């Protein structure tokens, strides 16, 4: 017995105010019926006695106060889930967007999700091979990690994300048996970008093991708030009930945060930094923290959120707060991109906090940690030498500086640069690293073990 | 249980804030159970019969008209045997018990006591019938873990004559002693007591901290020490290694008890601590570190109001162990998340905002929290001395220290470990900047260092710091006109500074030997580097070429000093003499 109220008194941005209601619950779903018969959905954001503030999930354009009927549905926002979701495309409200039929649900799940008990978590330790050297070699991703891509407008972060989604696989013991799937959530991206992803998934057949949630730039802004929660609820279902290893790609988190700001402003909340609400950290955490592994469950959720940093500024609230929650970041560099290097990953400010436990003898190779540190140190020295050369001229460099400078060039050109469809194994990546190190004198290789130099270094004396 | 019949009615729900009416007689900070699901909440504002309640669990599906049950008591923690080795959430619910009850995801409305009601502990009395006891006196002991003997104390405000005292195995709910006070009233004492988290536990007297809290981290112990009973602040942008420093401190600090509060941080990080601590051995006793540790985790996605409470839960447990005469260290990572929780609640209360929308009382709340640290004479006739050190991490947005949380924290803490992004990106760890950091305790611990470490400790430390300062100004010159413009002695200063940075300050948390360094070894390592410097200066005076000094093979040994085991410290002592001989042996070329 659902009551419908004709007491809609105010529409303000994405918010709707309904008065004289009774028995309404916080975060309850609302269906608004317009005089034309059209239905739109929303959710209770605040309830004060008999006055409910409802956040609409769809555009409020065309909404009228007069004649609108608000029906409170007596339940929270739920996502119908089923294994048949694989291979499908949905919109931000969870409706099919690919022309296919509605999902016949196995069950319905609240999209808010409950926090994982930290005691029940299992520490991420399994290496994921992305086939991208700058990630696998330098900042490896492990299963259950959340590793964002920090980028800027106009940079090829989406191509990189798509490449990772295509190539990601687990190597090592028992890897063959693992079921793998991608959940892709796009918020406020353009039609072309969305089409690019869909085509990528179609061409490689990956769409069979993917669930896509897409909200385009001209779709309702508020759906961007629910979209990642839908995607993650779907991922949790597949991971922890269907034993699959899920890679969740969320792009672009900047659009998400802006949508959040829009709602916050409409509610007239006191803004924090740059107008973003004070609870942005907590809100982002409720998304990012839904990555992980759980003791006794086979599946896992790995997250790669993509965000275009406004003005390439790392200290902007969105990347800043993201960085405090996620376990590292992959930095996309404009300079490398300008020089035509794909993927333009700057390994120096990039970081993977969980790499230490994911690499090594049983996971990748014994020399992985050593060579990664050595490449990092050598590249940093090379970059410094190059900066010096810019100020003082090439002639001012010592012989050693010149070698490092040459190494840095080689590193960018051979190691970082690779084809969009080039899938390197971790062995290939590491061997490539060793090959590059031959540019430097042996005495400079302080971070790799002597016996590993003997074993892995190509025996060409230059 | 007994007073829950007093019921109010919900009128408003906005996120974690619920407003209820019909709450006359309720007290500020009283705990209430909200709705039929009995979600735990706390009253944070009273106006007439209207109470604003912050709810520690998700309020989804709660609406006006539902009941609010009063409990008549403020938010309290249970203090007694069973605290150690336990992993709690922000309001002292054991997370392992929660997992057993509700599975891998935390459901709401679950009430679990902080201490086990069924476990039996062996109680050994220390007093007998007829003895007079006062508040804070030890009635007896319980061997809680292999490392820690738990003293069962007479709770504050109770004193008198022991009427009855038991011996043997009991649960914490059983009465183990009866005390008759002057008025003839008899108090039944159990092995545990409850204490409101927002109230400081009483002590006899506060003392000035004079002993360093040895952390095994060279840059901290030698340059920017913290004391037992002191306070420190670690602000750092993300990726600067703040968490690793906190973990290192909780592993190696020479406190008897360590309390680690993960306040609004990453879930995987807490899991890491949980998996690692039982494996790690205490360097002094060889026992697993977990045996002296209490973990409190309210990860960033857990309810925000419980995050606000978590640091108080932690510090109250810390005070309780301090009252037994233990040296306690509390790490809070990160207090910025606590402040954000405060801001979120304040915003929903529609309070007048202060700077960056933080409430105006942020400063006083921060100060009150850090003031609970200190070295004290505990209650009780024994005059036990206990201490509680607090180390708070701050996560300034964008690494900008001018923001309110950092500023308010710096105003009350006495040690500042300034983590530096640039150092971290050069892989200099721990990335504590030696030019911006400070410790106001350096003077106070001088007598201790002179007595326990070495007579010339103070001079050595000062000299090292001066060399680092000089390096900073010399580097300016080098950047402008090149190394050639410097005198030979200045060039030696640069080399020594590099040696201090790389061979002393840099420390690898993941190397089994390098991860911990004793004060003595700190001394010898510095002594080696500075002896080389002194002897080098003398050699330059004799006319020896700088190149010859800097290429001496003995430099290898200096660089490897950090990997010398504590047991073989004699090697370092010998090295000092060796360096002297080697440099004096360098011949001047004609």
pLDDT at B4 over 70: no
In sequence order, the 6+-apart residues with CB closer than 8 A to the CB of B286 are none
CA B292 – CA A89 distance, rounded (Å)? 52
Q: Are B156 and B202 in contact (CB under 8 A)?
A: yes
Whether A140 and A249 share a structural domain = yes
Whether A163 and A306 share a structural domain = yes
Domain boundary among A323, A358, A393: A358
Tracing tokens 């109470």 back to the chain, one arrives at B51
State pLDDT tens for residues B245-290: 888 898 889 999 999 999 988 888 888 888 888 888 877 788 888 9
Residue A406 pLDDT class (50, 70, 90 cuts): very high
CA A324 – CA B311 distance, rounded (Å)? 19
Helices then strands, counting H and E runs in chain A, come out as 13, 22
CA B123 – CA B189 distance, rounded (Å)? 13
* DSSP 8-state secondary structure symbol assigned to residue A93: T
Whether A379 and A246 share a structural domain = no
In a domain, A363, yes or no: no
Tracing tokens 């494996």 back to the chain, one arrives at B279
CA distances from A253 to A295, A308, A420 (A): 29, 8, 23
Report the residue from B59, B299, B510 with minimal CB separation from A115. Answer: B299
Whether residues A376 and B426 touch (CB distance < 8 A) is answered with no
Q: Is the peptide bond before B430 cis (omega within 30 degrees of 0)?
A: yes
Whether A339 and A423 share a structural domain = no
Q: For the domain that residue A36 is a member of, what is the CATH number?
A: 2.40.30.20
Which pair of tokens denotes residue B166? 């038991």
* DSSP 8-state secondary structure symbol assigned to residue B45: E
Report all structural domains of chain B as residue ranges with CATH numbers, in order of start: 5-74 (2.40.30.20), 83-99+203-442 (3.40.50.300), 116-191 (2.40.50.100), 453-584 (1.10.1140.10)
Domain count across chain A = 3
Instruction: Please state whether beta strands A69-72 and A107-110 pair in parallel, antiparallel, or not at all (unpaired).
Output: unpaired
Domain boundary among A336, A358, A380: A358
State pLDDT tens for residues B111-157: 899 999 999 999 999 999 999 999 999 999 999 999 999 999 999 99
Whether A213 and A284 share a structural domain = yes
* DSSP 8-state secondary structure symbol assigned to residue A87: T
Whether A262 and A331 share a structural domain = yes
Whether residues B60 and A112 touch (CB distance < 8 A) is answered with yes
Q: How far is B400 from chain A (nearest CA, A)?
A: 9
State pLDDT tens for residues A89-144: 999 888 899 899 999 999 999 888 889 999 999 999 889 999 999 999 999 999 99
Report the residue from B95, B300, B356 with minimal CB separation from A325. Answer: B300
CA A410 – CA B378 distance, rounded (Å)? 65
State pLDDT tens for residues B434-463: 999 999 999 999 999 999 999 999 999 999
State pLDDT tens for residues A337-348: 999 999 999 999
| The pLDDT value given to residue B3 | 47
- The residues in B 84-103 lying below 8 A from A, measured between CB atoms, are 87, 95-96, 98-99, 102-103
CA distances from B534 to B524, B525, B580 (A): 15, 14, 9
In a domain, A444, yes or no: yes
* Cβ neighbour number for residue A311 with a 10 Å cutoff: 8
Domain boundary among A358, A380, A414: A358
pLDDT at A160 over 60: yes
Compute the Cα dihedral for B491, B492, B493, B499 and give only its sign. positive
CA-based max dimension of chain B: 99
Which pair of tokens denotes residue B361? 């009382």
| Closest CA in chain A for residue B102 | A117
Among A289, A277, A278, smallest CA distance to A248 is for: A289
In a domain, A147, yes or no: yes
Whether A121 and A258 share a structural domain = yes
Cα A345 to its chain centre, rounded Å, is 16
In a domain, A86, yes or no: yes
CA B456 – CA B339 distance, rounded (Å)? 43
| Closest CA in chain A for residue B65 | A23
- The residues in A 265-294 lying below 8 A from B, measured between CB atoms, are 269-273, 278-279, 281-282, 285-286, 288-290, 292, 294
State pLDDT tens for residues A47-84: 999 999 998 877 777 777 888 899 999 888 889 999 99
Whether A298 and A150 share a structural domain = yes
| The pLDDT value given to residue B590 | 60
Domain, as residue range, for A201? 78-358
In a domain, A288, yes or no: yes
Q: Are B270 and B301 in contact (CB under 8 A)?
A: no
Whether A295 and A348 share a structural domain = yes
Give yes or no for B278 touching A (CB within 8 A): no
Whether A411 and A299 share a structural domain = no
Q: Are A407 and A375 in contact (CB under 8 A)?
A: no
Whether residues A292 and B297 touch (CB distance < 8 A) is answered with no
Give yes or no for B61 touching A (CB within 8 A): yes
Which pair of tokens denotes residue B346? 């304040």
Whether A180 and A258 share a structural domain = yes
Among A33, A55, A58, A32, smallest CA distance to A44 is for: A55
Whether residues B353 and A270 touch (CB distance < 8 A) is answered with yes
| Crossing angle for the helix pair B304-323 and B335-348, to the nearest 10 degrees | 130
Coil vs helix vs strand at A56: strand
Strand partners, A12: A15
Residue A316 sits at φ, ψ, to 5 deg, of: -60, 145
Which pair of tokens denotes residue A182? 């991608």
Q: Predicted ipTM? A: 0.85
Q: How far is B204 from chain A (nearest CA, A)?
A: 38
| The pLDDT value given to residue A1 | 60
Tracing tokens 């990772």 back to the chain, one arrives at A164
Coil vs helix vs strand at A2: coil
CA B482 – CA B480 distance, rounded (Å)? 6
CA A354 – CA A343 distance, rounded (Å)? 22
Coil vs helix vs strand at A103: coil
CA B253 – CA A266 distance, rounded (Å)? 49
In a domain, A188, yes or no: yes
Whether residues B64 and A289 touch (CB distance < 8 A) is answered with no
Q: For the domain that residue A201 is a member of, what is the CATH number?
A: 3.40.50.12240
pLDDT at A420 over 60: yes
Whether A175 and A281 share a structural domain = yes
State pLDDT tens for residues A244-274: 999 999 998 999 999 999 888 888 888 888 8
CA A8 – CA B470 distance, rounded (Å)? 71
Task: Give the DSSP per-residue string, A281-332.
Answer: HHHHHHHHTT-EEETT-S-EEEEEEEEE-GGG-TTSHHHHHHHHHSSEEEEE
* Cβ neighbour number for residue A397 with a 10 Å cutoff: 17
């Amino acid at each position: 017995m659902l009551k419908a109220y004709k007491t809609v008194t105010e529409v303000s941005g994405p918010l709707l105010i309904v008065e004289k209601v009774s028995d309404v619950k916080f975060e309850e779903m609302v269906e608004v019926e317009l005089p034309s018969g059209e239905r739109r959905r929303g959710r209770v954001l605040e309830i004060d006695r008999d006055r409910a503030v409802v956040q609409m999930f769809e555009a409020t354009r065309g909404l009228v106060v007069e004649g609108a009927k608000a029906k409170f549905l007596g339940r929270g926002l739920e996502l119908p889930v089923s294994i048949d979701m694989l291979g499908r495309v949905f919109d931000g409200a969870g409706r099919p967007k690919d022309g296919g039929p509605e999902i016949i649900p196995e069950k319905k799940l609240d999209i808010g999700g409950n926090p994982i008990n930290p005691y029940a978590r299992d520490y991420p330790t399994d290496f994921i091979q992305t086939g991208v050297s700058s990630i696998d070699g330098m900042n490896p991703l492990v299963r259950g990690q959340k590793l964002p891509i920090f980028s800027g407008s106009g940079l090829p972060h989406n191509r990189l994300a798509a490449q990772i989604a295509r190539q990601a696989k687990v190597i090592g013991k028992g890897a063959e048996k693992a079921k793998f799937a991608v959940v892709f959530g796009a918020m406020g991206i353009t039609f072309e970008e969305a089409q690019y992803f869909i085509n990528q998934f179609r061409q490689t057949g990956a769409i069979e093991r993917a669930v896509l949630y897409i909200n385009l730039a001209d779709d309702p802004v508020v759906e961007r708030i629910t979209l990642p929660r839908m995607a993650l609820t779907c991922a949790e279902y597949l991971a922890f009930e269907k034993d699959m290893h899920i890679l969740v790609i969320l792009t672009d988190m900047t659009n998400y945060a802006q949508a959040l700001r829009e709602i916050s402003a409409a509610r007239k909340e006191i803004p924090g930094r740059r107008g973003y609400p004070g609870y942005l950290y907590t809100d982002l955490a409720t998304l990012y923290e839904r990555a992980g592994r759980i003791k006794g469950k086979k599946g896992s959720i790995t997250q790669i959120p993509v965000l275009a940093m406004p003005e390439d500024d790392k200290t902007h609230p969105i990347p800043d707060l993201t960085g405090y929650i996620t376990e590292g970041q992959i930095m996309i560099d404009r300079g490398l991109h300008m020089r035509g290097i794909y993927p333009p990953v700057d390994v120096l400010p990039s970081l993977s906090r969980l790499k230490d436990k994911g690499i090594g003898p049983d996971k990748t190779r014994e020399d992985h940690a050593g060579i990664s540190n050595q490449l990092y140190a050598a590249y940093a020295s090379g970059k410094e030498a190059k900066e010096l050369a810019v100020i003082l001229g090439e002639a001012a460099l010592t012989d050693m500086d010149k070698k490092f400078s040459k190494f840095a060039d080689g590193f960018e050109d051979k190691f970082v640069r690779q084809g969009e469809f080039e899938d390197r194994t971790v062995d290939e990546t590491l061997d490539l690293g060793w090959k590059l190190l031959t540019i430097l004198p042996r005495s400079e290789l302080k971070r790799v073990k002597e016996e590993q130099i003997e074993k892995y270094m190509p025996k060409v004396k230059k | 249980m007994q007073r829950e019949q007093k019921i109010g009615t919900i009128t408003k729900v906005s996120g974690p804030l619920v407003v209820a009416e019909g709450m006359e007689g309720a007290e500020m900070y009283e705990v209430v159970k909200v709705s039929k699901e009995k979600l735990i909440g706390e009253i944070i504002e009273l106006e007439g019969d209207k109470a604003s309640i912050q709810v520690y669990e998700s309020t989804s599906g709660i609406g006006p008209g539902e009941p609010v049950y009063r409990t008549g008591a403020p938010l309290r923690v249970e203090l007694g045997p069973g605290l150690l080795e336990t992993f709690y959430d922000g309001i002292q619910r054991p997370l392992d018990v929660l997992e057993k009850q509700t599975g891998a995801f935390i459901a709401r409305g679950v009430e679990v006591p902080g201490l086990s009601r069924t476990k039996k502990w062996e109680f050994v009395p220390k007093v007998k019938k007829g003895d007079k006891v006062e508040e804070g006196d030890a009635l007896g002991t319980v061997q809680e873990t292999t490392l820690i003997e738990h003293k069962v104390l007479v709770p504050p405000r109770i004193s008198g004559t022991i009427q009855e005292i038991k011996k043997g195995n009991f649960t914490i709910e059983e009465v183990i002693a009866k005390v008759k006070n002057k008025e003839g009233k008899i108090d039944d004492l159990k092995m545990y007591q409850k204490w409101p988290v927002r109230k400081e536990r009483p002590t006899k007297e506060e003392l000035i901290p004079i002993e360093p809290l040895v952390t095994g981290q060279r840059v901290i112990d030698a340059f920017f020490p913290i004391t037992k009973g002191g306070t420190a602040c670690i602000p750092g942008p993300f990726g600067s290694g703040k968490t690793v420093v906190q973990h290192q401190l909780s592993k190696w600090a020479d406190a008897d008890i360590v309390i680690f509060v993960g306040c609004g941080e990453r879930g995987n990080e807490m899991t890491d601590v949980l998996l690692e601590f039982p494996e790690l051995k205490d360097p002094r006793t060889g026992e697993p570190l977990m045996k002296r540790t209490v973990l409190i985790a309210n990860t960033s996605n857990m309810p925000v109001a419980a995050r606000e409470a978590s640091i108080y839960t932690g510090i109250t447990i810390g005070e309780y162990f301090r009252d037994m005469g233990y040296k306690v260290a509390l790490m809070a990572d990160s207090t910025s998340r606590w402040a954000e929780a405060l801001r979120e609640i304040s915003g929903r209360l529609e309070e007048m905002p202060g700077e960056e929308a933080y409430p105006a009382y942020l400063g006083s709340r921060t100060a009150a929290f850090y003031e609970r640290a200190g070295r004290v004479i505990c209650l009780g006739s024994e005059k036990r001395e206990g201490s509680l050190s607090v180390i708070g991490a701050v996560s300034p947005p964008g690494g900008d220290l001018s923001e309110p949380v950092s500023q308010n924290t710096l105003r009350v803490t006495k040690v500042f470990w300034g983590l530096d992004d640039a150092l971290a990106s050069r892989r200099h760890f721990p990335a504590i900047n030696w030019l911006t950091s400070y410790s106001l305790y350096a003077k106070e611990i001088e007598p201790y260092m002179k007595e326990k470490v070495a007579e010339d400790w103070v001079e050595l430390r000062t000299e090292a710091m001066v060399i680092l300062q000089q390096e900073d100004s010399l580097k300016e010159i080098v950047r402008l006109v090149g190394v050639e413009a410097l005198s030979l002695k200045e060039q030696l200063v640069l080399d020594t500074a590099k040696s201090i940075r790389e061979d002393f300050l840099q420390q690898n948390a993941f190397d089994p030997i390098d991860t911990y360094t004793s004060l003595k070894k700190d001394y010898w390592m510095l002594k080696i580097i500075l002896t080389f410097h002194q002897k080098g200066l003398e050699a330059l005076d004799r006319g020896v070429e700088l190149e010859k000094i800097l290429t001496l093979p003995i430099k290898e040994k200096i660089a490897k000093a950090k990997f010398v085991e504590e047991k073989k410290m004699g090697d370092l002592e010998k090295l000092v003499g060796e360096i002297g001989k080697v440099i004096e042996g360098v011949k001047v070329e004609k």
